[in-house]
Amino acid sequence: MKKNSNDYVIRILDSPLAVNAGEWNGLLAAQSPAGILNPFMRHEYLAALHTSGSATPKTGWTPRFVTLWQGDTLVGACALYLKAHSYGEYVFDWAWANAYAQNGLDYYPKALIAVPFTPVPGARLLARDAAERALLVKALVAWCDEEKLSSMHVLFADEDDVKACEDAGLMLRHTVQFHWTAPPTGYRDFDDFLMTLSQEKRKKIRQERRKVRDAGITFRWSLGAQISSADWDFFYLCYERTYLEHGNAPYLSRDFFHCMERSMPENWLLFVAEHDGAAIATSLIAVNYCPDCASGTFDAKNLTSAKDSMENPLFQGLTAYGRYWGALARVDCLHFEACYYQPIEWCIAHGFQSFEGGAQGEHKMARALLPVKTTSAHWLAHPSFADAVERFLEREGAGIDHYLEDLERRSPFKAHAPQPPSDSRMPS
């Protein structure tokens, strides 16, 4: 393919380790005006999924990283996986797979452009500009067609990705998540935030927090290299137990979190709940990667107040992501405290403007996480099935719009209080 008489070459790589980490992360940084790295698209994160055995052919995730080159320069890339199932995706297409099977057709393997096990919106199609992103999408569709794959799916894409996919004729699908967002001026403290909520919601949150305090539970947090190996071990004990209690093995191995501790500790914030000095629960939060981290000058101790952070341009637009939690003891409302209130209070104190609570969960709205529409893009090779899915997505999309309208009428904020924008995702 050509653009302005310059040759472009597509190379398909069978491992994230075949991509130079610096080149990949440099391209990722270019997706954000501030150069902030989405932690889940960092090369270190994708490589850890592979080397730890969490996302490999053995678990149904066969990597085919698609790269676009101009000479010796990497100008576009995406993390594509050939999938033998639809687990760990959070955009559900089981009905589509069943429809294929009922008609004697193979839905698997399919092509998935996503971060395994991670329903976090962000850049999926890395490129230097819109024109090269369009070239990347065109190449992806052509490759999937040549490989006779049933379909291609770009999950939790950002606005630039969505536009490129829509322009290329892919079908769009929407889901709803719940995110907390601070106003541009921030909040003085957690009580200041509470005062913007309706009396009912404010009272409920205070009651839930009081129950945890009255049970004798205290919290401590650690950021980056401050998280000890013992705390990582305890986190995984809780994380694994939570999965096993629901009858499933955890998606992520202990070795994956060893990799996180070694290769990108600055992206993790750990809350530990204690009772009588003994740890009983944890909540692991991801945080955006800031430029100071790369130079080694980032120090959590310097984040002393929201004012300090809000006035530092390096920390403007930063986001925290609720990811994993687990507990060894049952305490009423402990989950809400560990997974919502402690992270939100931390974000307020440190000038972070957004906290993404993860996939689904309408109950989060009562905790002031507002609905946000997320978008995925889909290509199906079979014309008749593509037509059927397109009609289905039109109906589903109308339902999503009605659902969002209903949620907006149930805002947890006071009627007269200025509300944060409901679709204000941070740079990816």
Structural domains of the chain ordered from first start = 2-178+372-408 (3.40.630.30), 183-352 (3.40.630.30)
pLDDT at position 428, please?
37
Q: Which of 151-155, 201-205, 290-294, 296-300 has the lowest mean pLDDT?
A: 296-300
Neighbours of 10 (CB within 10 A): 17
Question: Sorting pLDDT into bands at 50, 70 and 90, what band is 419?
Answer: low
Question: Sorting pLDDT into bands at 50, 70 and 90, what band is 362?
Answer: confident
What torsion, rounded to 10 degrees, do the Cα atoms 403, 356, 93, 409 define? Answer: 0
**Rounded Cα gap, residues 76 and 161, in angstroms:** 12
Contacts of 32 (CB under 8 A, 6+ apart): 38, 123, 427, 428
Question: Sorting pLDDT into bands at 50, 70 and 90, what band is 6?
Answer: low
Q: Pick 279 or 425 by higher pLDDT.
A: 279
Is residue 178 over pLDDT 70? yes
> Mind listing the pLDDT tens digit for each residue in 78-98?
999 999 999 999 999 999 999
pLDDT at position 2, please?
40
Pairing of strands 319-327, 354-359: parallel
Question: Mean pLDDT across the stretch 345-358?
Answer: 91
Is residue 35 over pLDDT 70? yes
pLDDT at position 303, please?
46
Is residue 344 over pLDDT 80? yes
**Rounded Cα gap, residues 373 and 200, in angstroms:** 26
How many alpha carbons fall within 13 Å on the CB side of residue 370? 20
Question: How high does pLDDT run on average in the chain?
Answer: 90
Neighbours of 411 (CB within 10 A): 18
Question: Sorting pLDDT into bands at 50, 70 and 90, what band is 184?
Answer: confident
> Mind listing the pLDDT tens digit for each residue in 122-170?
999 999 999 999 999 999 999 999 999 999 999 999 999 999 999 999 9
